[in-house]
């Protein structure tokens, strides 16, 4: 119901109407940016960024703190608009603003230390005459190209770190969910912040213009689109960080707490109608507990309430094109022998709603087990051994995150490090997204680079500048074009000693 990346949009610079995917009602209007205006917008950000960098970490932290307070005070307004443009349930919408406030709080406390110049030791004793310092200098403009599934969180969870680093931020929200971005920009201005944040609205041409005018690109979205963004950025050797699609597996061992695992699977699969990159997209259950696990899942799913706003567990899919992917995956599974235990069809009535669907008797010939669904489905497969569960989990082009359930934590850890992905949650799902001290990134086609990661979450938006200064003036310039026999002999002696260096032997 809202615009998709593959459909024709109104001509750039014209207003477009955004519809609520839960009701079809008008959520608001937005004016597309003329791509020809993006260089001018970027030039303004570059001018403002110099003063922003000069404020230093303490000065920037004060502004970020005011912005965090604004988000807290306007949380209800943000969430109501979020529900209108996405069709989310109130429960799902309530997650985004607190996440941003948590991230801002973390970086406000740690950014000064993370960005402090870092002394490096000499690699060899004779080089101690030099003092080596690494400085972290912000890239002038960081582009944030955000998706529609979490329009608030995905827009600024990296943007806050970039602002902390001293960068200006050029936001490109999804053309499906452009409204909350405008509200957040207003909040930045209302916080007394300088004009180091700007928005470009539009679709493909807008993305291209943003990438062409940025010094770093943070993209979150599908693997196919991420590859196109990286290709575009490579024309100017602009660095990118890509958090892309996933097909996250859950492994349930025979000693797991079955009720806990079932609760986690249902929440992880149907939270935000399954439109989460780190959602539970497939489950592998050891044979001894398979029937018990399936029964617990079906029990939990039957208690879910589907609908937008308050009183519901999860809301609509973003539009009918996303719903069609879910329908295709379920139909393919059924045609190949899968059984539908709950749901399996579009909900009656208005809106892009699909019933929460549990599938069993599934295998890897089915699209629901190999392609990213991004919808409210939960396929469950019986396996005979842990080795089979690991093999099937890794049988995927994706590698974003995973989960393992077992009462034996050490055993679960052993399984976790065999899974080919960026993060594994033990006896939980999605929780790694809250761990700002740890990197969040994908393997294989799930992306390159990572968000968060403690100090690295800020430093990723910086360029490293090395300053090598003398500790003493003694010997300065002694080797400049010094071709004397004495100098040559001294050099040969030093190189011989270096060549004879042997590593110390450790005692057996």
Give the active site residues: 243, 277
Q: Which residues have a Cβ under 8 Å from the Cβ of 502 and sit 6 or more positions away? A: none
The DSSP code for 432 is: G
Angle subtended at Cα 169 by Cα 431 and Cα 20, rounded to the nearest 5 degrees: 65
Indicate the helix (H) or strand (E) that contains 15.
strand 15-19
**Rounded to the nearest 10 degrees, what angle do helices 409-416 and 386-394 cross at?**
40
3-state helix, strand, coil in the chain (%, to 5): 40, 20, 35
d(CA 380, CA 290): 9
Q: Which residues have a Cβ under 8 Å from the Cβ of 402 and sit 6 or more positions away? A: 248, 249, 250, 251, 393, 416, 419, 421, 423, 424, 425
Angle subtended at Cα 299 by Cα 296 and Cα 303, rounded to the nearest 5 degrees: 140
d(CA 326, CA 350): 17
Q: Which tokens belong to 144? A: 């944030």
Q: Which residues have a Cβ under 8 Å from the Cβ of 198 and sit 6 or more positions away? A: 41, 44, 45, 168, 169, 170, 171, 185
470-483 burial code (b ≥16 CB/10 A, e <16):
eeeeeeeeeeeeee
d(CA 62, CA 213): 28
Q: Which tokens belong to 90? A: 């109130």
What are the start-end ranges of the H helices in 89-202? 90-93, 96-115, 153-156, 159-165, 179-190
What are the start-end ranges of the H helices in 302-358? 320-335
Size of the chain in residues: 508
Q: Which tokens belong to 5? A: 């990346």
**Rounded to the nearest 10 degrees, what angle do helices 56-73 and 75-86 cross at?**
70
d(CA 397, CA 54): 44
State the first-to-last Cα distance of the chain, in angstroms, to the nearest integer.
70
Closest C-alpha to 435, from 420, 422, 453, 448? 453
The DSSP code for 497 is: H
Q: Are strands 282-286 and 15-19 parallel, antiparallel or unpaired?
A: unpaired
């Amino acid at each position: 119901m809202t615009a998709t990346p593959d459909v024709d949009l109104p001509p750039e610079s014209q207003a477009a109407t955004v519809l609520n995917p839960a009701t079809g009602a008008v959520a608001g209007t937005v004016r597309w940016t003329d791509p020809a205006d993006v260089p001018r917008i970027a030039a303004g950000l570059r001018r403002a960024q110099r003063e922003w960098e000069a404020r230093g970490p303490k000065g920037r932290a004060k502004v970020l703190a005011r912005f965090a307070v604004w988000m807290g005070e306007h949380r209800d307004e943000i969430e109501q608009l979020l529900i209108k443009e996405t069709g989310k349930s109130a429960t799902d919408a309530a997650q985004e603003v607190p996440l941003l406030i948590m991230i801002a709080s973390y970086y406000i406390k740690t950014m000064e230390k993370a960005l402090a110049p870092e002394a490096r030791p000499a690699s060899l004793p004779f080089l101690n005459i030099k003092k080596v310092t690494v400085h972290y200098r912000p890239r002038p403009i960081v582009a944030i190209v955000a998706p529609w599934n979490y329009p608030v969180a995905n827009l600024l969870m990296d943007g806050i770190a970039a602002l902390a680093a001293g960068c200006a931020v050029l936001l490109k929200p999804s053309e499906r969910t452009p409204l909350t971005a405008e509200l957040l920009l207003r909040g930045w201005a209302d916080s007394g912040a300088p004009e180091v944040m700007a928005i470009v609205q539009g679709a493909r041409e807008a993305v291209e213009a943003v990438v062409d005018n940025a010094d770093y690109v943070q993209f979150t979205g599908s693997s196919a689109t991420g590859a196109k963004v990286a290709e575009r950025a490579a024309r100017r050797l602009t660095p990118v960080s890509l958090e892309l699609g996933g097909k996250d597996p859950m492994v349930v061992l025979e000693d797991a707490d079955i009720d806990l695992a079932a609760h986690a699977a249902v929440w992880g699969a149907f939270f935000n109608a399954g439109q989460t990159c780190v959602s539970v997209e497939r489950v592998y259950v050891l044979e001894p507990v398979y029937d018990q696990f399936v029964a617990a899942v079906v029990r939990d799913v039957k208690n879910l309430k589907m609908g937008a706003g308050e009183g519901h567990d999860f809301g609509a899919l973003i539009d009918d094109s996303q719903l069609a992917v879910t329908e295709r995956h379920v139909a393919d599974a059924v045609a190949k022998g899968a059984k539908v235990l709950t749901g399996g069809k579009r909900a009656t009535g208005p809106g892009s709603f699909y019933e929460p669907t549990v599938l069993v008797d599934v295998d890897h010939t089915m699209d629901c087990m190999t392609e990213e669904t991004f919808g409210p489905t939960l396929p469950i497969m019986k396996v005979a051994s842990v080795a089979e569960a690991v093999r099937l989990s890794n049988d995927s082009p994706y590698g974003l995150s995973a989960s393992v359930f077992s009462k034996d934590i050490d055993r679960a850890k052993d399984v976790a490090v065999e899974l080919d992905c960026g993060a594994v949650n033990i006896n939980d799902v999605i929780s790694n997204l809250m761990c700002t001290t740890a990197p969040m990134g994908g393997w294989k086609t799930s992306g390159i680079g990572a968000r968060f990661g403690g100090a690295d979450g800020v430093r990723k938006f910086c360029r490293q500048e090395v300053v090598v200064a003398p500790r003493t003036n003694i010997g300065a310039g002694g080797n400049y074009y010094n071709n004397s026999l004495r100098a040559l002999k001294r050099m040969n002696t030093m190189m011989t000693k270096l060549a004879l260096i042997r590593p110390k032997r450790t005692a057996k």
